[in-house]
Structure 1
Amino acid sequence: MNESTSAVIGAGIVSFLPGISARHRDKVKLALAMAERSTEAAYREGLIEDWFAYYRNQLKYMGWDAVSAEQVHWPDEQRARQADQVLETIAATAGEHFASVIGISMHKLLANPTPLRELERRAYERQHFQLLPCAPAGANRVDMVLYHETDTRSAYSAGFISHKRSHRNVRAELVRFNLLAFEHSYLPKVQDRVVQVSLQRILDFDI
């Protein structure tokens, strides 16, 4: 898929559909890495219990907003559905194009041992797993599905991406990122050291 790339950030996989520039992809990955870093710190210090809610609020502060209900694409209930519940949830939240790109990313990740090991380690430690497929949404905007699932630690043992999981505690939300708000309002306030540490959390791989 031309222009499509993926990365592992913490216990999540972020994927990009064609049409998002390299510069914009880098900004999205940086925002996700910074949100992941601050959420992990708060979680480790015992300040929060709900990872998803805190992570979502960190993104909102940086320039992400929930997409209004009328903007969400709900697929026709009568059409054929994905067999995999993860992709089914993403497709139902935002459309098949989001599910397609994250499905390819998950498959390609299996052939990339370094980011795969990092994802498996983080998911096992935290007992959660995230998928973050992104699509262009007009000038300086990117739409992203924030898919978050939690389960027992044993569910995230090595090879869990290829295994069936309980799917019992899943949340998914379509959000929109205003890149200009991030670049001009939030990013200038952040110390270079924080940016550099966050960038080290991004493990890119091609799809």
Structure 2
Amino acid sequence: MTDLVAPQAAVVGGSVVAFAGGLPASHRDDIYMSTAYAQRATRAAFEDGLSGDWFEYYSNVLRFIGWDVPKPQTLAASNISLMAGQATQRIASVWGESFSEPMRLALRAMERNALALKLFESTSVRANVGYFQMIPCIMNGPNKVQMGVYHRQFEIEREAGGFLFSEDETLIHNSVEQVAAITFNTLYYAQFRDKVKQSVITGSLKYLSGLEI
């Protein structure tokens, strides 16, 4: 990522980020770095014994580095068993096809990418508890990116590779889905960019796996 090798979609730890066409590599790099930074800070806090709402803490970290994250909306329970399909359906119903289509393509690429799946699953699940985000992004002006953040937290019955694409209805329980719409201002973020990038690069260069969409 130091040379702005920022693909159109990628697994970033426990998040899948996908961009509609037209976003410059610098914007994609900012969003990848910010997402990795917020995840690492949140995981570290909870591993140190912090209790509370994982997504609230994650959102607060993003606010600390200049993101304008509104209070998330909790969605009503759904009976769709396939987690990947449910995520894209939720994104489509809340924000429309322009957001859901890049994410659908990213998830399709992820399903056949063993390295990306391994990164996602090893980061998103700890013991029997899981947290992940789906983040589709589209351009909304010269220096603004419109983003939808779909967050899901759940308990998983047993270790299962490919749980995101599993149709086993007994696998996932106590699931909560939340969404938040964000306008990312790249000019405002500029004051935080170096700090975030240095933190991510110092911590790990193996946080991202690109997806071909």
Shorter-chain TM range is 0.7 to 0.9
- d(CA) in 1 for partners of 2:159, 2:181: 25
Map Cα deviations across residues 5-54 of structure 1 (whole Å, 9 max, x no partner).
21111211111110100111111101111111111111111124311011
Q: How does 1:41-60 map to 2 (within 5 A)?
A: 41-60=44-63
- d(CA) in 1 for partners of 2:68, 2:159: 30
Counterpart of 1:201 in structure 2 is 207
SS in 2 for 1:65: coil
- d(CA) in 2 for partners of 1:132, 1:156: 25
Are 1:33 and 1:198, in contact at CA under 8 Å, matched by a contact in 2? no
Counterpart of 2:183 in structure 1 is 176
| 1:29 to 2:32 alignment | yes
1:92 to partner: Cα distance: 2.2
1:135 to partner: Cα distance: 0.9
Matched residue count: 190
Q: How does 1:1-40 map to 2 (within 5 A)?
A: 5-40=8-43
Q: How does 1:53-72 map to 2 (within 5 A)?
A: 53-66=56-69
- d(CA) in 1 for partners of 2:152, 2:195: 32
Q: Identify unmatched segments of 5+ residues in structure 1.
A: 69-82
How high is the TM-score relative to the length of structure 2? Answer: 0.79
Q: Closer, same or farther in 2 for the Cα pair 1:39/1:62, shift >3 Å?
A: same
- d(CA) in 1 for partners of 2:161, 2:152: 17
Are 2:20 and 2:102, in contact at CA under 8 Å, matched by a contact in 1? yes
SS in 2 for 1:149: strand
SS in 2 for 1:63: coil
